[in-house]
Amino acid sequence: MTKTFETEIEAKNFARAKFNEGLIVFAGTINPHTPRQLISSANIPSWLEGGPEQEAAKPDGAQEDEK
């Protein structure tokens, strides 16, 4: 399922609920927001704990996946 939200708080609340259900969750930014970010399932817990200004870490191997 893909959903978009007006605010990062709304996105975090949705992701938290799905993550707590045991689902694999990914989050990220969409155009025109830059820089584009992808929060992998492994990084969701730290993203949920951080404030809205916290920059997401790039997932391991992100550069290799872009080739």
Q: Is residue 66 part of a domain?
A: no
pLDDT at residue 48, rounded to an integer = 93
Q: Is residue 19 part of a domain?
A: yes
pLDDT at residue 19, rounded to an integer = 93
pLDDT at residue 51, rounded to an integer = 67
Condensed to tens digits (0 to 9), the pLDDT of residues 46-59 reads 999 986 544 444 44
Q: Is residue 37 part of a domain?
A: no
Q: Is residue 41 part of a domain?
A: no
Q: Which domain holds residue 23?
A: 1-28
Q: Is residue 15 part of a domain?
A: yes
- The answer for residues whose C-beta is within 8 angstroms of residue 52's C-beta and 6 or more apart is 7, 8, 9
pTM of whole model > 0.85?
no
Q: Which of 12-21, 35-44, 49-58 bottoms out in mean pLDDT, i.e. has the lowest? A: 49-58
Structural domains of the chain, count: 1
Tokens of 33: 């927001």
Q: Is residue 22 part of a domain?
A: yes
What's the rounded Cα separation, in Å, for the pair 16 and 21? 9
What's the rounded Cα separation, in Å, for the pair 56 and 40? 9
